[in-house]
């Protein structure tokens, strides 16, 4: 049992690559939580894909014990959060489980878009915030300028920001002291009925579902009968542990503590993130408010290349959905691709990560259709329908108008690249709302249509600004616009995986680019293949892929010309017949490359 005053719960928030995970490594190392021989880089990033890309995807937690200068030993519960805009949902729920945050800012780069987004989430959750300037050992670091920037842009006092280098370990003891001195202790009643918040859950092939909880009031012990208030399900606790990153068994968890339990729960779907856990016999009166559920913004179809692997894909997707509450899916069928799933994601990085995990962890080759967003179709009879897949668009005669989702994008960029960024946003049908200067950098706020952003906006933004721009967005709502469905026909057959919603003014340009791209990507066949882009019955662009020819006249030497003509006529008739019955194989790479449009 730990005294409440000797517990500190905190998270680390920062922009991508400002050094959250490295700082977490140093805190773990300095307090001897993990033996030196077991230490490795990015200690809390468990997935291979996190280590390879150098990003955090899942918020992970660890319990550290720290003997402070005042003679007491403190229990510190640290939650390392992702910095990427697609995983903001992981950040928001981690914030609700702790009382304070360390705001890490790179002393060479200053405040970035994601720094702002994550800090505002911490402020919303009523956190005490301690600013930390990282990478102070680099020659390009400017601590004084960055402190001023934190005060100007975010509006929190940075005069006593801690200057550290997470890589070399400089200043780490000061961080530990600041956590103990400046962050508040948790509140909670030990004798009240049990009230614990379900922060996260994941699937372990040996233990079943592992549930991460933060105890608000009361005590939870091994062997207790517990009840989930939202689902009403009851379970008996098998195992209660704290994470030091590995699980270490413990007899009980009191108020203010963070730990994990297993209770023979079969599916993560049975554990709703944000749910309240209480005792079955003596429940608490009122559940915790929970989190607002995450809303998927990007949809795409996932199909196995080999249709025999459909059941394996279903299994893989269900297991991933166990670990990821923000990923949704439903079955769909496609004429070209067979059986598959229509999946919802929080953004393109989220989509890439899920796709990579399925291909790696379950060894299934996938075809991914064009990412699309949810449109609102207002029908002429007054009904409003949601359109997730452009292939399902009803006949235009029934539709009154179409609305598309809009976002408010905040882009921070050095002055030199401002012109290029404004041009990119204008090309993507953006409406400029604001432009301000903050310490040598411009902050642009744009109202953009989401479907122009989901393709490759982020990659383009990074390439035109040499990686210096940072970007963050939030959904603002729906607005009517002149949108049409563009279909791609190969050999007069519609390829539904390539149909997409485009703005009428840009449809011809998009169609022409798509046809030209497919002409390069589809291998030549023995017959001529027309590639067309069409809106309704009207073809707006066309390319023709010429046939491979066999020289049928090779055996004719000399003699009458009618012999050659006869052979060529016969070949022509054969090709015509082939074109009627021939099937065009579109390779997997062609799908993926065709969707990376504007490059």
What residues are designated binding site for GTP?
17-22, 134-137
Q: For the purposes of burial, counting CB atoms within 10 Å of the CB of 436, is it exposed (0-12), middle (13-18) or buried (19 or more)?
A: exposed
Identify the residue whose tokens are 């049928």.
Answer: 552
Whether 300 contacts 370, CB under 8 Å: yes
How many other C-beta atoms are found inside a 10 Å radius of the C-beta of residue 124?
11
Binding-site sequence positions: 17-22, 134-137
Q: How far apart are CA 224 and CA 210, in angstroms?
A: 16
CA 372 vs. chain centroid, Å, equals: 15
CA 432 vs. chain centroid, Å, equals: 26
Tokens of 194: 């049990």
Nearest CA to 374 out of 352, 354, 393, 355 is that of 393
Dihedral sign of CA atoms 74, 75, 77, 78 in order: positive
Q: How far apart are CA 199 and CA 260, in angstroms?
A: 10
Question: ∠531-534-537 over CA atoms, to 5°?
Answer: 125
Give how far Cα 518 sits from Cα of 293, 316, 522, 523, Å. Answer: 39, 31, 6, 9
Please report, in angstroms and rounded to a whole number, the separation of the first and last CA atoms in the chain.
59
Q: For the purposes of burial, counting CB atoms within 10 Å of the CB of 282, is it exposed (0-12), middle (13-18) or buried (19 or more)?
A: exposed
Identify the residue whose tokens are 């207790």.
Answer: 224
Non-local CB neighbours of 494 within 8 Å, separated by 6+ positions: 335, 487, 488
């Amino acid at each position: 049992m730990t005294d409440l005053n000797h517990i500190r719960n905190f998270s680390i928030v920062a922009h991508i690559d400002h050094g959250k995970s490295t700082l977490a490594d140093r805190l773990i190392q300095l307090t001897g939580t993990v033996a030196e021989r077991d230490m490795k880089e990015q200690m809390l990033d468990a997935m291979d894909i996190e280590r390879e890309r150098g990003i955090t995807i899942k918020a992970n937690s660890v319990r550290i014990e720290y003997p402070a200068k005042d003679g007491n030993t403190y229990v510190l519960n640290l939650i390392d959060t992702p910095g990427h805009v697609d995983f903001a949902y992981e950040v928001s729920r981690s914030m609700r489980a702790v009382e304070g945050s360390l705001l890490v800012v790179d002393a060479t780069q200053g405040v970035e878009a994601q720094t702002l987004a994550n800090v505002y989430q911490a402020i919303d959750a009523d956190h005490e915030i301690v600013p930390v300037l990282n990478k102070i050992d680099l020659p390009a670091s400017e601590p004084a300028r960055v402190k001023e920037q934190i005060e100007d842009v975010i509006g929190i006092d940075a005069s006593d920001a801690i200057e550290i280098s997470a890589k070399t370990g400089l200043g780490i003891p000061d961080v530990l002291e600041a956590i103990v001195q400046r962050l508040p202790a948790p509140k909670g009643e030990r004798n009240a009925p049990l009230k614990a918040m379900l922060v996260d859950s994941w699937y372990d092939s040996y233990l079943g579902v592992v549930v991460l909880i933060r105890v608000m009031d009361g005590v939870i012990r091994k062997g207790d009968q517990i009840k989930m208030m939202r689902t009403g399900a009851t379970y008996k606790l098998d195992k209660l542990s704290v994470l030091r990153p590995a699980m270490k068994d413990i007899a009980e968890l009191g108020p203010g503590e963070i730990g994990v339990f297993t209770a023979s729960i079969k599916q993560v779907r049975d554990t709703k993130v944000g749910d309240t856990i209480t005792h079955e016999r003596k429940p608490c009166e009122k559940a915790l408010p929970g989190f607002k559920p995450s809303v998927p913004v990007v949809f795409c179809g996932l199909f196995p290349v080999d249709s025999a692997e459909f059941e394996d894909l279903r299994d893989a997707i269900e297991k991933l959905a166990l670990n990821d509450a923000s990923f949704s899916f439903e079955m769909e069928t496609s004429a070209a691709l067979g059986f598959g799933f229509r999946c919802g994601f929080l953004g393109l990085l989220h989509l890439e990560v899920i796709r990579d995990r399925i291909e790696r962890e379950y060894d299934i080759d996938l075809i991914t259709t064009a990412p699309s967003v949810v449109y609102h179709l207002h029908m002429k009879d007054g009904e409003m329908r949601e359109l997730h897949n452009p292939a399902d668009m009803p006949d235009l005669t029934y539709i009154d108008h179409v609305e598309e989702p809009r976002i408010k994008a905040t882009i921070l960029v050095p002055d030199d690249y401002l012109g290029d960024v404004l041009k990119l946003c204008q090309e993507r049908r953006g409406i400029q709302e604001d432009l301000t200067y903050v310490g040598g950098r411009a902050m642009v706020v744009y109202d953009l249509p989401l479907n122009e952003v989901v393709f490759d906006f982020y990659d383009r933004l990074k390439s035109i600004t040499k990686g210096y721009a940072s970007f963050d967005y939030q959904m603002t709502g729906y607005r009517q616009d002149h949108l049409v469905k563009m279909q791609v026909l190969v050999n007069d057959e519609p390829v539904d995986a390539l149909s997409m919603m485009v703005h009428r003014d840009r449809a011809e340009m998009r169609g022409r680019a798509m046809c030209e791209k497919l002409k390069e990507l589809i291998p030549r066949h023995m017959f001529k293949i027309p590639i067309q882009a069409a809106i309704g019955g009207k073809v707006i662009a066309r390319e023709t892929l010429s046939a491979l020819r066999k020289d049928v006249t090779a055996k004719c030497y000399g003699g009458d010309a009618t012999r050659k003509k006869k052979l060529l006529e016969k070949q022509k008739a054969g090709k015509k017949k082939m074109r009627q019955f021939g099937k065009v194989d579109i390779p997997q790479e062609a799908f993926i490359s065709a969707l990376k449009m504007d490059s």
